[in-house]
Amino acid sequence: MSAELSLSEIEAVLTDTREWLERAVIGLNLCPFAKAVYASDRIRYCVSAAEDEEALLDDLARELSTLDATPDRVFDTTLLIHPRVLADFAQYNAFLDEADRKVESLGLLGEIQIASFHPHYQFAGTAHDDIGNFTNRSPFPMLHLLREASVARAVAAIPDATAIFDRNIETLRRLGHDGWRRMFPRA
C-alpha cells in the first residue's frame, strides 16, 4: 500500500538525505567513491511512498529495472529512500533477503547489488550506540542500488580498498557521538 507523499515531505526527505551525503558520506570520506557521482549529479533519488513491504518491493523492482536500463553516464546509482516503511531495524534487516531475491528474480544478480542504510543500523555483535554503526546510519531507511561494474572500477582505482571499513570505524571513533551530534543536531 502506498499513499502519496506531499511535495514538502519529498523535499524534506531529499534535503536531509543530501545533507547526510555531503556531511557524512562525502565529508568524512566514508565512501571514497561517492564524491565523483555526487559531483557529476549521477545519483538518482527515489523517495518511496510505500507503507508496506509489498509496495516497497514493487518500487524496488521498478528502480532496479530503471537503473539497469539507464546508461551510467545519466545516473550511476540509485538511492531508494523509504521513510514510511521498515522503520524498525530488525524488520529492515530481514527485508534485505527479500530485496536480494528481487535482484535475482529480475536477472540482475552480478549486475546490481544493494547496500543498506538505516537510522538505527547496527552491525552484528555491536551495541546499539557503538559509533561504528554510524557508518551505515542514514536519516531514513534506504536501499542503495549499485552497478557492480561501477563498484569494481571504483575498488580497482582505490589502493587498499579493503581497508575502507576499518578506516571508517576509526574516523567515527575520533569524531565520537558528540561530533556526530554537532554535524546532525536534528538527528
This prediction's pTM = 0.94
Q: What is the mean pLDDT of residues 47-71?
A: 98
Q: Are 18 and 25 in contact (CB under 8 A)?
A: no
Burial (CB < 10 A; 0-12, 13-18, 19+), residue 33, is buried
**Which residue matches cell numbers 575520533?**
174
- Phi/psi at 25 (nearest 5 deg)? -65, -50
Q: Are 124 and 79 in contact (CB under 8 A)?
A: no
Q: Is the pLDDT of residue 34 over 80?
A: yes
Q: What is the mean pLDDT of residues 133-150?
A: 96
pLDDT tens, residue by residue, 74-119: 999 999 999 999 999 999 999 999 999 999 999 999 999 999 999 9
b/e 162-185 (16+ beta carbons within 10 angstroms → b): eebeeebbebbeebeeeebeebbe
Q: Are 30 and 171 in contact (CB under 8 A)?
A: yes
Rg over CA atoms, the chain: 16
